[in-house]
Copies of this chain bind each other. A is one copy, B any other.
Amino acid sequence: MQKIVIIGTGNVAEHLSDSFFKKGFLITQIWGRNKEKAEILAKKVHSESTSVFHLIKKNADLYLLCISDDAVSEIVQKIDFEPSIIVHTAGSLPLEILNKFKNHGVFYPLQTFTKGRELSLKNVPFCLEANNKKTLTELKNIAGEISDNIIEMNSLERKRCHLSAIFACNFTNYFYSIASELLAEKNLSLNLLKPLIEETLAKATSITPQKAQTGPAVRGDWKIINKHLDELKNEDWKKLYSFVSESIFNYHKR
């Protein structure tokens, strides 16, 4: 049975510990700056917890850093033993940040995690990287237990995935927020747009988003665009509507 120590208590820590636990891995310890948070998370996966750094167990097979990007360097400095394997889970950080350790890698789940939300990791792409073959093989085996979607990727590719995900996930979600507010003003629900949004995604991945583009902006239909700008009262959204429309028009003209 493989033993895992989780460093961190945020959304990624929660989802990874839960998935590993359900697959029969032994989460031997969860470290968190905040004692209570670490305890709560540890309890869920029948694990021990600590907030004291030098009490971290040294005999685990894998140390998973599930902390904010900014905290990684500081934590790395504090680890004064040689972990069997240590990985970080950040899209934007290079492999080299863990250079001080003999066997190190990256274990990046390309997904959006929200605390308390049940989510299967089975289809989630795990982007893996390691500083040696043996470690990479080991990471592939471990990730393969919780996901069917394992991808080897270097730090530059992973960084690019992360950047793309900002557009495809964070920014589109913000546009769902805007749509939902606009609809709510007329007592309409965002669910009304669900079939449309689903088809938008289905088209994008089957015929490419470039071929799938519809709407007034790609047609250069300024009459409708101006009607919409008149309807928008929020100045920020007005600017956004105008700027994105021009960008779509120029992109498809080129």
Which residues of chain A have a CB within 8 Å of any CB of chain B? 11, 69-70, 92, 110-114, 117, 119, 123-125, 149, 151, 156-157, 159-161, 163-180, 182-183, 185-186, 188, 190-201, 203-205, 207-218, 221, 223-224, 227-228, 231-232, 236-237, 239-241, 243-244, 247-248, 250-251
Taking CB atoms, residues of chain B closer than 8 Å to A224 are 69, 92
Closest B residue by C-beta to A247? B236
In the complex, the answer to whether B208 meets A180 with C-beta atoms within 8 Å is yes
CA distance in complex: A110, B197 (Å): 10
In the complex, the answer to whether B69 meets A199 with C-beta atoms within 8 Å is no
In the complex, the answer to whether B212 meets A166 with C-beta atoms within 8 Å is no
Helix, strand, loop or mixed for chain A's interface?
Answer: helix
> Can you report 9 residue pairs joining A to B where beta carbons are below 8 Å apart?
A112-B214, A149-B195, A160-B231, A163-B231, A177-B251, A180-B210, A190-B208, A190-B209, A197-B201
5 tightest A-B CB contacts, nearest first: A170-B215, A176-B209, A164-B179, A172-B172, A168-B179
Please name 5 further chain A to chain B contacts, defined as beta carbons within 8 Å, in addition to the given A163-B182, A168-B179, sorted by A numbering. A164-B193, A166-B241, A169-B214, A173-B212, A240-B247
> Nearest Cβ in chain B — how far from A31, in angstroms?
21
> Nearest Cβ in chain B — how far from A130, in angstroms?
19
Taking CB atoms, residues of chain B closer than 8 Å to A195 are 110-111, 123-125, 149
